[in-house]
Amino acid sequence: MKINVVLLSALFFISYSLRGIEIHEVVPNFQAVNSEGKTWNSQKFLGKKQILLYFYPAAMTGGCTKQACSYREDYQKWKKLNVEVVGISGDQTSNLFLFKRAEKLPFTLLSDPQGKVAKLFNVPMSEGGIIERFFQGDKFTLERGVTSKRWTFLISKSGKLIYKNDQVTASIDSSNVMKFINKLN
């Protein structure tokens, strides 16, 4: 019995990773490590909050900073709407910790260096990379395992995908998803 459950779970995950999750489909539980090095689990929010999951290429880069800051500026609005904002990239956790500090980001950033979560959502990826950035006079080398495309998803409280944007404009991503949610309400 236990083997059947494991086998069915594996097949479920594989089928999604081949085509991605489509609108109105249930999103399988996923996990990743946050900027503090702790495991974040999507299941914790089922029945409690919507999850706004946005993929971005690399911490501390131009477009990604604009996108993160747009979510930061709208963060109180997201809280009032009971939405958990989560950014995810192939960056190492230390990069994410620095990015949160540098930009004063109040929401969760997740590390997906092997692209496991990106594969689940069928987000295209390319090789990772290394960049150097300065923060408060110190030089930091930031490494990422993969570089994902900029895609955004919204998962309902019941765990279904209700919004998907694979043509994201970084600076207005937050306002575009906000408009979508406001139309629902």
Q: Please tell me which residue in 64, 146, 154, 168 is annotated as part of the active site.
A: 64
Q: End-to-end CA distance of the chain, in Å?
A: 43
**69 labelled catalytic:** no
| Residue 29: HSE in the Cβ half-sphere, 13 Å Cα cutoff | 10
**Residue 141 to residue 72: CA distance in whole angstroms:** 24
Contacts 24+ apart (CB under 8 A), 14-22: 16/120, 16/122, 17/119, 17/120, 17/122, 19/122, 20/120, 20/121, 20/122, 20/123, 21/120, 21/121, 21/122, 21/153, 21/161, 22/161, 22/164
Report, as residue numbers or ranges, the catalytic residues.
64
